[in-house]
Structure 1
Amino acid sequence: MPKVKSEKKSRIHNEVSKQGIMFNKDFGQHILKNPMIITAMVEKSALRPTDTVLEIGPGTGNMTVKLLEQVKKVVACEIDTRLVAELQKRVQGTHLQSKLQILVGDVLKTELPFFNVCVANIPYQISSPLVFKLLLHRPFFRCAVLMFQREFAQRLVAKPGDKLYCRLSVNTQLLARVDMIMKVGKNNFRPPPKVESSVVRIEPRNPPLPIQYSEWDGLTRIAFIRKNKTLGSSFKQTSVLATLEKNYRLYCSLDNTKRKLRSDDIPEDFNIKSKVEKILTESKFIDKRPRTMDLDDFMMLLNAFNSQGIHFA
């Protein structure tokens, strides 16, 4: 038995060593090798000669070179120093060298510079935090063409009522328009991942909708605890009510002359459960289920709570 395992490991090693590099699973390294897909992603980015492009996880530079040929500058963010060296070697002594800037480190911990467009084959394990890091980045970028695990991509574009519609869907669509571009089979990578991939195009809403994102995020976090349950059921949970009461009392205690509610206005018999239930009933959301609610529904619900002094951040 150990011998079979050893042979399998050896085959994998040979497969990924053809380029002289052992790819690191911890970094989610699967190098896109199909030039047609690389070309298609670059084309869907609608690049301009004056653009600065952010590329995340450039790997050995297959896409980087394509980008450098078409834009003013590419900022490549790479965590693996071995691949940084490969990328530098690839452009060294060419006319592309001066157009490439490499940021070495974890993109989630890196302060991103200005960029017009982002193009990337995203390591799957950082997909969600990276999407929101990009969408909350200022100044606004024009668009991002990103490759994700297929199910994650489907969640990004899911609509109310879809099986995969979730908090990720509604939070992303608050901040951006998201379109599915193409499917990418696992054999287009070296080494092949265990799952299929898809490419999406993300275009930030500019100007953004007039919503405080931290409030919105707090509301959807509660609503999607169980997306098939009614809001009346989700908002009955003890931990949820305790958080909302704490926020309510804090909000009322803040020094603000324009505020209608003040801490000394809260009656001794104040009951947060009754207040929340009343808001949900009067706004006609008590029997609604998050899986069927669209952006307008959540905006109306947030406004109903906020107007009564109930906050989520």
Structure 2
Amino acid sequence: MKSNENNEHNFSLATETKNILQKHGIRLNKNLGQNYLIDDYKRKKIINFANISKNDTILEIGPGIGTLTIELSKKAKKVVAIEQDKKIFEILFERIQEENISNIELINDDALNVEISTFSKSNKIVSNLPYQISSPITFKFLEFDFDLAILMYQKEFANRMIAKVGDKNYSRLSAMLHFKTSIEFLDNISPQSFIPQPKVNSSVVKLTPIRNESFFSNKTNENDYSLICRALFPHKNKKIRNALIDSRNILGYSDKKILRDLLDSSPELESFLVKRVVKTSPEEILELTNLIKPILWG
């Protein structure tokens, strides 16, 4: 019986979505990440994960025609929704007007260009993100103080976010997020839950910011850590010494021998240089960064 109820809800949401799109002559563009959720059961789960109260202001990126937005507005104090596509924005604006909803602030802009002060109006984030901006928008979220984020990503991207040291998915993304947020896997969502159906599976994760600035003594230190990660992870199965030499241009060196001699000149680096990148923890990469900075850049 429960399965039949879910099917009815899914049919209703799918029909509602298709009807709205047909009414406005909209053909969704998968290349722009326009894959709309039509699974009501999954929609309810996503919203419930956020544990929303009337004290919460929710940030949503890429609301589309309001599949999550309108339901979020019923539970939250306010929803700030940022939609880049002008025509989709106008459809959602019309829906909000028709349903006489007063607690949604709708912004027609590219979320990557929106001032962080707009984001900081919110204390929670709930979004089915456009997958092509997953990385930059996630790091932008982490520039402001929020309680939690419930976010849908391409499953492959989510796997790299949550990967541990030594895992095949351990990556620059894993290392960069390690000091900024705790990440919890919540759910998988199949392509059949969307129209049009994407060619990839999706995952829902929860981000909870880590507010401990002691990891990075200053912004320059964080930038150096990022640079070392960028140099190491394209060669993650190599030893650190070889990875750094192969990425010498990233480090500001063109001559392989000069960089090799600098690396080999420091006994402090020896234990790091023989380790494979994939087996090196973020804490170790940070320690390596602090040791290598005066050697490479004075």
Partner of 1:254: none
Residues 191 and 242 from structure 1, CA distance in 2 versus in 1: closer, same or farther, beyond 3 angstroms?
closer
Residues 238 and 231 from structure 1, CA distance in 2 versus in 1: closer, same or farther, beyond 3 angstroms?
closer
Contact 1:280 1:286 in 2 (8 A): no
**Is 1:106 paired with 2:110?**
yes
Residue identity in the other structure for 1:108: L
Residue identity in the other structure for 2:180: L
Task: Report how many residues are paired.
Answer: 272
Contact 2:148 2:206 in 1 (8 A): yes
Contact 1:147 1:200 in 2 (8 A): yes
Partner of 2:45: 40
Partner of 1:27: 32
Contact 2:227 2:251 in 1 (8 A): no
Instruction: Give the Å deviation of 1:47.
Output: 2.0
Distance in 1, matches of 2:99 and 2:127, equals 23
RMSD: 2.6
Over residues 270-293 of structure 1, what are the superposed CA-to-partner deviations in whole Å (9 max), with x where a residue is unaligned?
A: x55433223475451011111111
Written as runs of structure 1 = structure 2, the 5 A alignment for 1:161-172 is 161-172=166-177
Partner of 2:265: 278
Residue identity in the other structure for 2:230: R
Instruction: Give the Å deviation of 1:310.
Output: 3.8
Partner of 1:239: 248
Distance in 1, matches of 2:112 and 2:50, equals 22
Partner of 2:277: 290
Instruction: Give the Å deviation of 1:101.
Output: 0.7
Q: Residue 215 of structure 2: SS of its match in structure 1?
A: coil
TM-score, normalised relative to structure 1: 0.79
More divergent stretch after superposition (205-214 vs 119-128): 205-214
Contact 1:47 1:71 in 2 (8 A): yes
Contact 1:54 1:75 in 2 (8 A): yes
- Name the % identity: 30
Distance in 2, matches of 1:273 and 1:188, equals 52
Residue identity in the other structure for 2:112: L
Residue identity in the other structure for 2:240: L
Residue identity in the other structure for 1:131: T
Match of 1:217 among 210, 221, 226: 226
Residues 162 and 280 from structure 1, CA distance in 2 versus in 1: closer, same or farther, beyond 3 angstroms?
farther
Distance in 1, matches of 2:240 and 2:266, equals 11
Distance in 2, matches of 1:43 and 1:217, equals 34
Residues 242 and 76 from structure 1, CA distance in 2 versus in 1: closer, same or farther, beyond 3 angstroms?
closer
**Is 1:147 paired with 2:152?**
yes
**Is 1:160 paired with 2:165?**
yes
Structure 2: runs of 5+ lacking an equivalent: 1-16
